[in-house]
Protein backbone atom coordinates (compact mmCIF):
# COMPACT_ATOMS: atom_id res chain seq x y z
CA UNK A 1 0.00 0.00 0.00
CA UNK A 2 1.37 3.38 -1.05
CA UNK A 3 0.90 6.73 0.69
CA UNK A 4 1.11 8.61 -2.60
CA UNK A 5 -2.23 10.34 -3.24
CA UNK A 6 -4.49 9.26 -6.09
CA UNK A 7 -6.38 11.57 -8.46
CA UNK A 8 -9.78 11.00 -10.04
CA UNK A 9 -11.11 13.43 -12.65
CA UNK A 10 -14.86 13.22 -13.35
CA UNK A 11 -15.74 15.22 -16.45
CA UNK A 12 -19.43 15.80 -17.17
CA UNK A 13 -20.70 16.56 -20.67
CA UNK A 14 -22.79 19.72 -21.24
CA UNK A 15 -23.52 20.05 -17.52
CA UNK A 16 -24.65 23.58 -16.73
CA UNK A 17 -23.80 24.44 -13.17
CA UNK A 18 -27.40 25.45 -12.45
CA UNK A 19 -28.41 21.79 -12.84
CA UNK A 20 -26.70 20.91 -9.55
CA UNK A 21 -28.33 21.55 -6.18
CA UNK A 22 -25.02 22.75 -4.73
CA UNK A 23 -25.24 25.59 -7.27
CA UNK A 24 -28.93 26.24 -6.64
CA UNK A 25 -31.03 23.67 -8.54
CA UNK A 26 -34.52 23.67 -6.99
CA UNK A 27 -36.39 20.80 -8.67
CA UNK A 28 -34.20 17.92 -7.52
CA UNK A 29 -31.11 17.24 -5.44
CA UNK A 30 -27.75 15.87 -6.51
CA UNK A 31 -26.60 14.46 -3.14
CA UNK A 32 -23.37 12.79 -4.20
CA UNK A 33 -22.07 15.68 -6.28
CA UNK A 34 -23.15 17.98 -3.46
CA UNK A 35 -21.07 15.82 -1.15
CA UNK A 36 -17.98 16.63 -3.21
CA UNK A 37 -18.76 20.31 -2.75
CA UNK A 38 -19.67 20.03 0.93
CA UNK A 39 -16.58 17.98 1.76
CA UNK A 40 -14.26 19.94 -0.51
CA UNK A 41 -14.04 23.29 -2.29
CA UNK A 42 -16.51 24.67 -4.83
CA UNK A 43 -15.43 27.31 -7.35
CA UNK A 44 -17.66 30.15 -8.55
CA UNK A 45 -15.54 31.42 -11.45
CA UNK A 46 -14.45 28.38 -13.43
CA UNK A 47 -14.37 28.39 -17.23
CA UNK A 48 -14.48 25.61 -19.79
CA UNK A 49 -14.84 26.23 -23.50
CA UNK A 50 -17.88 26.89 -25.67
CA UNK A 51 -18.29 23.21 -26.57
CA UNK A 52 -16.78 19.79 -25.99
CA UNK A 53 -13.92 19.17 -28.43
CA UNK A 54 -11.83 22.28 -27.71
CA UNK A 55 -12.55 22.00 -24.00
CA UNK A 56 -11.12 18.49 -23.83
CA UNK A 57 -8.15 19.36 -26.02
CA UNK A 58 -7.25 22.48 -24.06
CA UNK A 59 -7.53 20.62 -20.74
CA UNK A 60 -5.39 17.72 -21.97
CA UNK A 61 -2.73 19.97 -23.53
CA UNK A 62 -2.74 22.81 -21.00
CA UNK A 63 -3.12 25.23 -23.93
CA UNK A 64 -6.11 27.50 -24.60
CA UNK A 65 -8.18 27.11 -27.74
CA UNK A 66 -7.41 30.44 -29.43
CA UNK A 67 -3.88 29.65 -30.55
CA UNK A 68 -2.93 29.06 -34.15
CA UNK A 69 -1.89 25.57 -35.19
CA UNK A 70 -1.27 24.01 -31.78
CA UNK A 71 -3.75 21.14 -32.18
CA UNK A 72 -6.64 19.99 -34.37
CA UNK A 73 -9.64 17.71 -34.10
CA UNK A 74 -11.36 15.60 -36.75
CA UNK A 75 -15.01 15.04 -37.64
CA UNK A 76 -17.17 12.49 -35.86
CA UNK A 77 -19.28 9.69 -37.31
CA UNK A 78 -16.53 7.67 -38.92
CA UNK A 79 -16.79 4.69 -36.55
CA UNK A 80 -20.39 3.87 -37.45
CA UNK A 81 -19.05 2.32 -40.65
CA UNK A 82 -17.72 -0.58 -38.57
CA UNK A 83 -21.29 -1.67 -37.75
CA UNK A 84 -22.33 -1.38 -41.39
CA UNK A 85 -19.32 -3.38 -42.56
CA UNK A 86 -17.96 -0.58 -44.74
CA UNK A 87 -14.57 -0.33 -43.06
CA UNK A 88 -12.33 -1.74 -40.34
CA UNK A 89 -10.82 -0.17 -37.19
CA UNK A 90 -7.34 -0.29 -38.73
CA UNK A 91 -8.53 1.60 -41.83
CA UNK A 92 -10.14 4.25 -39.62
CA UNK A 93 -6.96 4.60 -37.58
CA UNK A 94 -4.90 5.14 -40.71
CA UNK A 95 -7.28 7.86 -41.91
CA UNK A 96 -7.27 9.69 -38.57
CA UNK A 97 -3.48 9.46 -38.32
CA UNK A 98 -3.09 11.20 -41.66
CA UNK A 99 -5.56 14.00 -40.92
CA UNK A 100 -4.68 17.18 -39.08
CA UNK A 101 -1.84 17.82 -36.66
CA UNK A 102 -0.33 14.83 -34.89
CA UNK A 103 1.41 14.96 -31.51
CA UNK A 104 5.07 15.92 -31.73
CA UNK A 105 7.86 14.25 -29.74
CA UNK A 106 8.10 17.17 -27.30
CA UNK A 107 4.36 17.61 -26.71
CA UNK A 108 3.28 16.90 -23.13
CA UNK A 109 -0.27 15.85 -22.22
CA UNK A 110 -2.15 15.75 -18.94
CA UNK A 111 -1.93 12.01 -18.29
CA UNK A 112 1.79 12.01 -19.06
CA UNK A 113 2.36 14.27 -16.07
CA UNK A 114 1.04 11.51 -13.82
CA UNK A 115 2.54 8.60 -15.77
CA UNK A 116 6.04 10.07 -15.63
CA UNK A 117 5.64 10.40 -11.86
CA UNK A 118 4.92 6.68 -11.52
CA UNK A 119 1.13 6.78 -11.59
CA UNK A 120 -1.03 4.19 -13.32
CA UNK A 121 -3.27 6.15 -15.68
CA UNK A 122 -6.70 5.13 -16.89
CA UNK A 123 -9.46 6.65 -19.00
CA UNK A 124 -12.98 5.20 -18.94
CA UNK A 125 -15.92 6.67 -20.85
CA UNK A 126 -16.32 9.10 -23.70
CA UNK A 127 -13.33 9.68 -25.94
CA UNK A 128 -10.80 12.16 -24.57
CA UNK A 129 -10.05 13.88 -27.87
CA UNK A 130 -12.81 14.95 -30.23
CA UNK A 131 -14.37 14.16 -32.48
CA UNK A 132 -12.75 10.85 -33.41
CA UNK A 133 -9.69 9.18 -31.95
CA UNK A 134 -7.68 5.97 -31.95
CA UNK A 135 -6.04 3.68 -29.44
CA UNK A 136 -2.62 4.87 -30.57
CA UNK A 137 -3.54 8.49 -29.99
CA UNK A 138 -4.99 7.78 -26.55
CA UNK A 139 -1.83 5.89 -25.59
CA UNK A 140 0.32 8.76 -26.90
CA UNK A 141 -1.57 11.10 -24.59
CA UNK A 142 -0.43 9.05 -21.63
CA UNK A 143 -3.34 6.72 -20.84
CA UNK A 144 -2.04 3.25 -20.03
CA UNK A 145 -5.54 1.79 -19.81
CA UNK A 146 -8.53 3.02 -21.76
CA UNK A 147 -12.06 1.80 -22.26
CA UNK A 148 -14.98 3.38 -24.06
CA UNK A 149 -16.02 5.22 -27.20
CA UNK A 150 -13.63 6.41 -29.89
CA UNK A 151 -16.20 8.54 -31.78
CA UNK A 152 -18.11 11.52 -30.43
CA UNK A 153 -21.15 11.02 -32.67
CA UNK A 154 -21.66 7.53 -31.28
CA UNK A 155 -21.78 9.09 -27.81
CA UNK A 156 -25.14 10.62 -28.77
CA UNK A 157 -26.57 7.15 -28.22
CA UNK A 158 -26.32 5.32 -24.92
CA UNK A 159 -26.57 1.70 -26.07
CA UNK A 160 -23.36 1.01 -27.99
CA UNK A 161 -23.11 -2.29 -29.89
CA UNK A 162 -19.37 -2.17 -29.25
CA UNK A 163 -16.78 -0.24 -27.29
CA UNK A 164 -12.99 -0.39 -27.25
CA UNK A 165 -10.69 -1.67 -24.49
CA UNK A 166 -7.04 -0.80 -25.08
CA UNK A 167 -7.76 -0.73 -28.80
CA UNK A 168 -9.59 -4.05 -28.95
CA UNK A 169 -13.19 -3.94 -30.18
CA UNK A 170 -15.50 -5.38 -27.52
CA UNK A 171 -19.07 -6.26 -28.48
CA UNK A 172 -21.87 -5.37 -26.03
CA UNK A 173 -24.37 -8.21 -26.05
CA UNK A 174 -27.97 -7.13 -26.59
CA UNK A 175 -27.13 -3.69 -28.04
CA UNK A 176 -27.85 -3.90 -31.76
CA UNK A 177 -28.25 -0.34 -33.06
CA UNK A 178 -25.46 0.86 -35.36
CA UNK A 179 -26.05 4.43 -34.10
CA UNK A 180 -25.91 3.27 -30.45
CA UNK A 181 -29.67 3.74 -30.07
CA UNK A 182 -29.64 7.49 -30.65
CA UNK A 183 -33.05 9.02 -29.92
CA UNK A 184 -34.82 11.87 -31.74
CA UNK A 185 -33.88 15.26 -30.30
CA UNK A 186 -37.42 16.58 -29.79
CA UNK A 187 -40.55 15.61 -27.90
CA UNK A 188 -43.69 14.06 -29.36
CA UNK A 189 -45.88 11.05 -28.60
CA UNK A 190 -44.07 9.13 -31.33
CA UNK A 191 -40.63 10.06 -30.03
CA UNK A 192 -41.60 9.12 -26.49
CA UNK A 193 -42.49 5.65 -27.74
CA UNK A 194 -39.12 5.40 -29.49
CA UNK A 195 -37.37 6.23 -26.22
CA UNK A 196 -39.42 3.66 -24.33
CA UNK A 197 -38.81 0.92 -26.88
CA UNK A 198 -35.92 -1.10 -25.44
CA UNK A 199 -35.52 -3.48 -28.36
CA UNK A 200 -31.80 -3.71 -29.13
CA UNK A 201 -31.03 -1.50 -26.14
CA UNK A 202 -30.07 -3.95 -23.42
CA UNK A 203 -27.16 -2.26 -21.61
CA UNK A 204 -26.87 1.45 -20.81
CA UNK A 205 -23.37 2.81 -21.35
CA UNK A 206 -23.03 4.54 -17.99
CA UNK A 207 -23.72 1.23 -16.24
CA UNK A 208 -20.89 -0.33 -18.25
CA UNK A 209 -18.58 2.50 -17.26
CA UNK A 210 -19.53 2.16 -13.59
CA UNK A 211 -18.46 -1.49 -13.64
CA UNK A 212 -15.18 -0.66 -15.36
CA UNK A 213 -14.47 2.15 -12.90
CA UNK A 214 -14.97 -0.20 -9.94
CA UNK A 215 -12.73 -2.78 -11.60
CA UNK A 216 -9.99 -0.18 -12.18
CA UNK A 217 -10.15 1.06 -8.58
CA UNK A 218 -9.92 -2.46 -7.19
CA UNK A 219 -7.07 -3.45 -9.50
CA UNK A 220 -4.98 -0.41 -8.57
CA UNK A 221 -5.89 0.18 -4.94
CA UNK A 222 -2.31 -0.47 -3.77
CA UNK A 223 -0.56 1.87 -6.20
CA UNK A 224 -0.98 5.53 -7.10
CA UNK A 225 -3.39 6.08 -9.98
CA UNK A 226 -4.86 8.86 -12.07
CA UNK A 227 -8.33 7.91 -13.32
CA UNK A 228 -10.17 10.06 -15.84
CA UNK A 229 -13.88 9.47 -16.35
CA UNK A 230 -15.31 11.57 -19.19
CA UNK A 231 -19.02 10.80 -18.98
CA UNK A 232 -21.56 11.17 -21.79
CA UNK A 233 -24.01 12.53 -19.24
CA UNK A 234 -26.06 14.64 -19.52
CA UNK A 235 -25.41 15.33 -23.23
CA UNK A 236 -28.49 14.68 -25.33
CA UNK A 237 -30.50 13.47 -27.09
CA UNK A 238 -32.32 12.46 -23.93
CA UNK A 239 -31.86 8.80 -23.07
CA UNK A 240 -32.16 7.09 -19.71
CA UNK A 241 -33.39 3.61 -18.72
CA UNK A 242 -36.02 4.96 -16.36
CA UNK A 243 -37.16 8.12 -14.61
CA UNK A 244 -35.44 8.46 -11.26
CA UNK A 245 -37.76 7.57 -8.33
CA UNK A 246 -37.30 11.00 -6.74
CA UNK A 247 -38.72 12.65 -9.88
CA UNK A 248 -41.69 10.47 -10.76
CA UNK A 249 -44.13 12.55 -8.71
CA UNK A 250 -42.66 15.95 -9.67
CA UNK A 251 -45.88 17.44 -11.06
CA UNK A 252 -44.19 20.68 -12.15
CA UNK A 253 -42.04 18.82 -14.69
CA UNK A 254 -43.02 17.21 -17.97
CA UNK A 255 -42.02 13.62 -18.71
CA UNK A 256 -39.27 14.87 -21.03
CA UNK A 257 -37.89 17.13 -18.30
CA UNK A 258 -38.01 14.31 -15.77
CA UNK A 259 -36.03 12.11 -18.13
CA UNK A 260 -33.38 14.78 -18.60
CA UNK A 261 -33.12 15.37 -14.85
CA UNK A 262 -32.76 11.61 -14.44
CA UNK A 263 -29.67 11.76 -16.65
CA UNK A 264 -28.17 14.25 -14.17
CA UNK A 265 -29.05 11.90 -11.34
CA UNK A 266 -27.53 8.97 -13.23
CA UNK A 267 -24.25 10.89 -13.22
CA UNK A 268 -24.75 11.70 -9.55
CA UNK A 269 -25.18 7.96 -8.94
CA UNK A 270 -21.77 7.32 -10.53
CA UNK A 271 -20.18 9.84 -8.18
CA UNK A 272 -21.77 7.99 -5.26
CA UNK A 273 -20.49 4.66 -6.54
CA UNK A 274 -16.97 6.06 -6.71
CA UNK A 275 -17.15 7.56 -3.22
CA UNK A 276 -18.50 4.34 -1.74
CA UNK A 277 -15.86 2.21 -3.46
CA UNK A 278 -13.03 4.43 -2.26
CA UNK A 279 -14.27 4.07 1.31
CA UNK A 280 -14.64 0.29 1.02
CA UNK A 281 -11.12 0.00 -0.37
CA UNK A 282 -9.72 2.17 2.42
CA UNK A 283 -8.21 4.73 0.03
CA UNK A 284 -10.74 7.55 0.35
CA UNK A 285 -8.46 9.69 2.51
CA UNK A 286 -5.63 9.59 -0.04
CA UNK A 287 -7.68 10.27 -3.17
CA UNK A 288 -8.34 13.72 -4.59
CA UNK A 289 -11.47 14.00 -6.75
CA UNK A 290 -11.89 16.79 -9.30
CA UNK A 291 -15.36 17.27 -10.77
CA UNK A 292 -16.13 19.62 -13.65
CA UNK A 293 -17.77 19.91 -17.06
CA UNK A 294 -16.54 20.66 -20.56
CA UNK A 295 -18.79 23.65 -21.22
CA UNK A 296 -21.90 25.40 -19.97
CA UNK A 297 -25.57 24.55 -20.23
CA UNK A 298 -27.54 23.20 -23.16
CA UNK A 299 -31.32 22.72 -23.37
CA UNK A 300 -32.12 19.21 -24.61
CA UNK A 301 -35.71 19.16 -23.32
CA UNK A 302 -37.14 21.64 -25.83
CA UNK A 303 -40.90 21.34 -26.19
CA UNK A 304 -43.23 23.37 -28.40
CA UNK A 305 -44.72 26.27 -26.46
CA UNK A 306 -42.83 25.43 -23.26
CA UNK A 307 -39.07 25.53 -23.73
CA UNK A 308 -36.91 26.89 -26.53
CA UNK A 309 -33.23 26.77 -27.34
CA UNK A 310 -30.73 29.27 -28.71
CA UNK A 311 -32.63 30.10 -31.90
CA UNK A 312 -35.62 32.02 -30.53
CA UNK A 313 -37.47 32.88 -27.34
CA UNK A 314 -40.96 31.69 -26.37
CA UNK A 315 -42.57 34.58 -28.25
CA UNK A 316 -40.79 33.62 -31.44
CA UNK A 317 -38.26 36.46 -31.38
CA UNK A 318 -35.02 35.30 -33.04
CA UNK A 319 -31.84 35.18 -30.97
CA UNK A 320 -28.61 36.08 -32.75
CA UNK A 321 -26.20 35.75 -29.78
CA UNK A 322 -24.96 39.24 -30.59
CA UNK A 323 -27.60 41.62 -29.26
CA UNK A 324 -30.20 39.02 -28.29
CA UNK A 325 -29.54 35.80 -26.38
CA UNK A 326 -31.06 33.00 -24.39
CA UNK A 327 -32.22 33.58 -20.81
CA UNK A 328 -33.98 30.93 -18.75
CA UNK A 329 -37.11 32.97 -18.18
CA UNK A 330 -37.60 34.04 -21.81
CA UNK A 331 -36.69 30.59 -23.10
CA UNK A 332 -38.86 28.72 -20.60
CA UNK A 333 -36.05 26.74 -18.96
CA UNK A 334 -37.76 25.44 -15.83
CA UNK A 335 -34.39 24.24 -14.47
CA UNK A 336 -32.49 27.52 -15.00
CA UNK A 337 -29.57 25.33 -15.98
CA UNK A 338 -27.29 28.24 -16.87
CA UNK A 339 -27.73 29.59 -13.32
CA UNK A 340 -29.31 32.87 -14.41
CA UNK A 341 -26.53 33.73 -16.84
CA UNK A 342 -26.90 34.61 -20.51
CA UNK A 343 -26.50 32.10 -23.31
CA UNK A 344 -26.01 28.40 -23.87
CA UNK A 345 -23.39 26.01 -25.20
CA UNK A 346 -21.51 27.16 -28.33
CA UNK A 347 -21.79 30.84 -27.36
CA UNK A 348 -19.24 33.06 -25.64
CA UNK A 349 -21.82 34.24 -23.10
CA UNK A 350 -21.16 33.17 -19.52
CA UNK A 351 -23.91 30.57 -19.61
CA UNK A 352 -22.08 28.79 -22.41
CA UNK A 353 -18.67 28.65 -20.77
CA UNK A 354 -18.95 28.95 -16.97
CA UNK A 355 -18.86 25.47 -15.50
CA UNK A 356 -19.30 23.71 -12.17
CA UNK A 357 -15.95 22.95 -10.55
CA UNK A 358 -15.21 21.31 -7.23
CA UNK A 359 -12.33 19.45 -5.65
CA UNK A 360 -12.43 17.09 -2.66
CA UNK A 361 -9.41 15.73 -0.78
CA UNK A 362 -10.14 14.61 2.81
CA UNK A 363 -7.78 15.99 5.40
CA UNK A 364 -6.18 18.44 2.98
CA UNK A 365 -8.99 20.61 1.62
CA UNK A 366 -11.19 22.30 4.20
CA UNK A 367 -14.78 21.02 3.84
CA UNK A 368 -17.47 23.36 2.59
CA UNK A 369 -15.21 26.03 1.19
CA UNK A 370 -16.07 28.21 -1.76
CA UNK A 371 -13.65 30.20 -3.85
CA UNK A 372 -13.91 33.15 -6.23
CA UNK A 373 -10.50 32.36 -7.68
CA UNK A 374 -10.80 32.50 -11.47
CA UNK A 375 -9.67 29.26 -13.05
CA UNK A 376 -10.01 27.59 -16.40
CA UNK A 377 -9.85 24.04 -17.66
CA UNK A 378 -6.28 24.42 -18.89
CA UNK A 379 -5.22 25.13 -15.29
CA UNK A 380 -5.63 21.46 -14.40
CA UNK A 381 -2.29 20.40 -15.90
CA UNK A 382 -0.09 22.67 -13.74
CA UNK A 383 -2.29 21.94 -10.73
CA UNK A 384 -1.82 18.19 -11.19
CA UNK A 385 1.94 18.63 -11.62
CA UNK A 386 2.05 20.81 -8.51
CA UNK A 387 -0.03 18.30 -6.54
CA UNK A 388 2.11 15.26 -7.30
CA UNK A 389 5.36 17.18 -6.98
CA UNK A 390 6.64 17.08 -10.53
CA UNK A 391 7.87 19.78 -12.87
CA UNK A 392 5.29 21.91 -14.64
CA UNK A 393 5.85 21.75 -18.41
CA UNK A 394 7.00 24.85 -20.20
CA UNK A 395 5.03 26.65 -22.90
CA UNK A 396 1.66 26.04 -21.25
CA UNK A 397 -1.08 28.57 -20.55
CA UNK A 398 -2.37 27.34 -17.21
CA UNK A 399 -1.77 28.43 -13.62
CA UNK A 400 -1.78 25.97 -10.71
CA UNK A 401 -4.63 26.57 -8.27
CA UNK A 402 -3.26 24.13 -5.68
CA UNK A 403 -2.39 26.99 -3.29
CA UNK A 404 -6.07 27.99 -3.26
CA UNK A 405 -7.12 24.40 -2.56
CA UNK A 406 -4.70 24.20 0.38
CA UNK A 407 -5.46 27.78 1.51
CA UNK A 408 -1.93 28.97 0.93
CA UNK A 409 -3.32 32.11 -0.60
CA UNK A 410 -0.06 34.04 -0.38
CA UNK A 411 1.45 31.55 -2.86
CA UNK A 412 -1.42 31.69 -5.36
CA UNK A 413 -0.59 33.16 -8.75
CA UNK A 414 -3.47 34.61 -10.76
CA UNK A 415 -4.36 34.87 -14.40
CA UNK A 416 -4.37 38.43 -15.66
CA UNK A 417 -6.99 37.10 -18.09
CA UNK A 418 -8.41 33.87 -19.51
CA UNK A 419 -9.57 33.40 -23.09
CA UNK A 420 -11.74 30.94 -25.00
CA UNK A 421 -13.13 30.57 -28.52
CA UNK A 422 -16.70 30.39 -29.75
CA UNK A 423 -18.69 30.30 -32.98
CA UNK A 424 -18.86 34.10 -33.06
CA UNK A 425 -15.26 34.67 -32.00
CA UNK A 426 -13.07 34.79 -28.90
CA UNK A 427 -13.89 36.19 -25.48
CA UNK A 428 -11.41 37.40 -22.87
CA UNK A 429 -12.19 37.77 -19.15
CA UNK A 430 -9.88 39.64 -16.79
CA UNK A 431 -9.19 38.81 -13.17
CA UNK A 432 -11.21 41.84 -12.04
CA UNK A 433 -14.24 40.86 -14.12
CA UNK A 434 -14.06 42.81 -17.35
CA UNK A 435 -15.14 40.75 -20.33
CA UNK A 436 -14.44 41.54 -23.96
CA UNK A 437 -16.26 39.68 -26.76
CA UNK A 438 -15.16 39.84 -30.37
CA UNK A 439 -17.91 39.33 -32.98
CA UNK A 440 -16.32 38.12 -36.20
CA UNK A 441 -19.52 38.54 -38.22
CA UNK A 442 -19.57 42.29 -37.60
CA UNK A 443 -15.87 42.84 -36.77
CA UNK A 444 -16.87 44.50 -33.53
CA UNK A 445 -16.31 44.30 -29.78
CA UNK A 446 -18.59 44.17 -26.77
CA UNK A 447 -17.51 44.96 -23.21
CA UNK A 448 -19.20 43.83 -20.00
CA UNK A 449 -18.42 44.32 -16.33
CA UNK A 450 -19.39 40.96 -14.84
CA UNK A 451 -19.30 41.90 -11.13
CA UNK A 452 -22.01 44.48 -11.81
CA UNK A 453 -23.68 42.79 -14.77
CA UNK A 454 -24.01 39.06 -14.11
CA UNK A 455 -26.52 38.63 -16.95
CA UNK A 456 -24.41 40.51 -19.53
CA UNK A 457 -27.20 42.93 -20.36
CA UNK A 458 -25.19 46.16 -20.69
CA UNK A 459 -22.53 46.52 -23.37
CA UNK A 460 -20.35 49.39 -22.09
CA UNK A 461 -17.74 49.35 -24.85
CA UNK A 462 -18.68 52.87 -25.97
CA UNK A 463 -18.02 54.18 -22.46
CA UNK A 464 -14.54 52.63 -22.15
CA UNK A 465 -12.71 52.90 -25.49
CA UNK A 466 -9.28 52.83 -23.83
CA UNK A 467 -10.13 49.60 -22.00
CA UNK A 468 -11.45 48.03 -25.21
CA UNK A 469 -8.21 48.97 -26.96
CA UNK A 470 -6.08 47.45 -24.19
CA UNK A 471 -8.07 44.23 -23.88
CA UNK A 472 -8.39 43.78 -27.64
CA UNK A 473 -4.60 44.02 -27.92
CA UNK A 474 -4.27 41.27 -25.30
CA UNK A 475 -6.86 39.23 -27.18
CA UNK A 476 -5.09 39.63 -30.51
CA UNK A 477 -1.78 38.49 -29.03
CA UNK A 478 -3.50 35.51 -27.39
CA UNK A 479 -5.00 34.62 -30.79
CA UNK A 480 -1.51 34.73 -32.33
CA UNK A 481 -2.35 37.77 -34.43
CA UNK A 482 -5.67 36.64 -35.91
CA UNK A 483 -9.06 36.77 -34.16
CA UNK A 484 -10.27 33.98 -36.45
CA UNK A 485 -8.11 31.59 -34.44
CA UNK A 486 -10.73 32.06 -31.73
CA UNK A 487 -13.34 30.13 -33.72
CA UNK A 488 -13.93 26.36 -33.93
CA UNK A 489 -13.13 26.20 -37.63
CA UNK A 490 -9.53 27.13 -36.92
CA UNK A 491 -8.98 23.71 -35.31
CA UNK A 492 -11.17 21.42 -37.43
CA UNK A 493 -9.24 19.10 -39.76
CA UNK A 494 -11.11 17.67 -42.76
CA UNK A 495 -10.56 14.09 -43.80
CA UNK A 496 -8.93 13.82 -47.24
CA UNK A 497 -11.20 12.99 -50.16
CA UNK A 498 -11.36 9.31 -51.05
CA UNK A 499 -10.75 10.24 -54.68
CA-based torsion, 237, 242, 245, 247: positive or negative: positive
- How many Cβ atoms are within 10 Å of 441's Cβ, its own excluded? 11
Question: What pLDDT band is residue 289 in, cutting at 50, 70 and 90?
Answer: very high
Q: pLDDT higher for 493 or 202?
A: 202
What pLDDT is recorded for position 85? 77
Angle between helices 255-281 and 205-219 (to 10 degrees): 10
Inter-residue contact 363 to 285 (CB < 8 Å) = yes
The stretch 61-75 carries a mean pLDDT of 93
For 78-105, the pLDDT digits (tens) are 888 887 778 888 888 998 888 888 899 9
Beta strands in 95-224 (DSSP E): 120-125, 145-148, 162-165, 168-171
Inter-residue contact 238 to 260 (CB < 8 Å) = yes
What pLDDT is recorded for position 88? 87
Instruction: State phi, psi for 377 to the nearest 5 degrees.
Output: -60, -25
Q: Give the integer Cα–Cα distance in Å for 207 and 169.
A: 18
Strand 417-420 to 369-376 pairing: unpaired
For 132-168, the pLDDT digits (tens) are 999 999 999 999 999 999 999 999 999 999 999 999 9
Inter-residue contact 155 to 232 (CB < 8 Å) = yes
Tell me what the pLDDT averaged over the chain comes to. 96
Inter-residue contact 166 to 146 (CB < 8 Å) = yes
Q: Is 18 helix (H, G, I), strand (E, B) or coil?
A: helix
Inter-residue contact 201 to 157 (CB < 8 Å) = no
Question: What pLDDT band is residue 495 in, cutting at 50, 70 and 90?
Answer: confident
Residue 204 pLDDT > 70? yes
- The answer to which of 64-68, 130-134, 265-269, 310-314 has the lowest mean pLDDT is 130-134
For 329-372, the pLDDT digits (tens) are 999 999 999 999 999 999 999 999 999 999 999 999 999 999 99
Instruction: State phi, psi for 354 to the nearest 5 degrees.
Output: -75, 135
Closest CA to 146 of 165, 128, 161: 165
Q: Is 55 exposed, middle or buried (0-12, 13-18, 19+ CB in 10 A)?
A: buried
The stretch 281-285 carries a mean pLDDT of 98
Instruction: Write the CA distances from 252 to 28, 123, 371, integer angstroms.
Output: 11, 38, 33
Residue 2 pLDDT > 80? no
Closest CA to 427 of 487, 338, 356: 487
For 111-120, the pLDDT digits (tens) are 999 999 999 9
Q: pLDDT higher for 95 or 426?
A: 426
Q: Give the integer Cα–Cα distance in Å for 343 and 418.
A: 19
The 3 state secondary structure assigned to 236-260 is CCCCCCCCCHHHCCCCCCCHHHHHH
Beta bridge partners of 165: 147, 168
User: 197 Cβ partners below 8 Å, 6+ apart?
Assistant: none
Instruction: State phi, psi for 89 to the nearest 5 degrees.
Output: -55, -40
Residue 35 pLDDT > 90? yes
Inter-residue contact 76 to 131 (CB < 8 Å) = yes
Domains within the chain, CATH numbers bracketed = 6-417 (3.40.720.10), 419-493 (3.30.1120)
**Residue percentage of the chain with pLDDT more than 90:** 89
The stretch 234-259 carries a mean pLDDT of 97
Q: pLDDT higher for 49 or 492?
A: 49
Question: What pLDDT band is residue 499 in, cutting at 50, 70 and 90?
Answer: very low
User: 323 Cβ partners below 8 Å, 6+ apart?
Assistant: none
Instruction: State phi, psi for 168 to the nearest 5 degrees.
Output: -90, 130
Please state the pTM of the whole predicted model: 0.97
Question: What pLDDT band is residue 498 in, cutting at 50, 70 and 90?
Answer: low
Question: What pLDDT band is residue 1 in, cutting at 50, 70 and 90?
Answer: low
Residue 288 pLDDT > 70? yes
Strand 492-493 to 73-74 pairing: parallel
Inter-residue contact 92 to 83 (CB < 8 Å) = no
Q: Give the integer Cα–Cα distance in Å for 63 and 247.
A: 40
The stretch 30-40 carries a mean pLDDT of 98
∠ CA 127-129-135, rounded to 5°: 65
Inter-residue contact 183 to 239 (CB < 8 Å) = yes
Amino acid sequence: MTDTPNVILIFADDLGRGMLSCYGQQHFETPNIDRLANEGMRFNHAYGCAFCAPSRASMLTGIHDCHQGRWTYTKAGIYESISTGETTPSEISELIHTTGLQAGPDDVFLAEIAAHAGYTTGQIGKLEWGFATTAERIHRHGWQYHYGYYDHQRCHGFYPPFLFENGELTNIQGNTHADCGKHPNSESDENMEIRRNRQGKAVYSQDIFNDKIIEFLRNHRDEPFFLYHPSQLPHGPISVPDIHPSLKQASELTTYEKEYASMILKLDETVGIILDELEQLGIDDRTMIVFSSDNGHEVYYRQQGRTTGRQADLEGNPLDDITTKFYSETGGDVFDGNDGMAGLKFSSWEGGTRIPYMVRFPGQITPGGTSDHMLTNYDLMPTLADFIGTEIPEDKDGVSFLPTLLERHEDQQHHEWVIYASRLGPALVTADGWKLRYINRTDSFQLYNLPNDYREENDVSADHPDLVARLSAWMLRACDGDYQNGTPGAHLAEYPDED
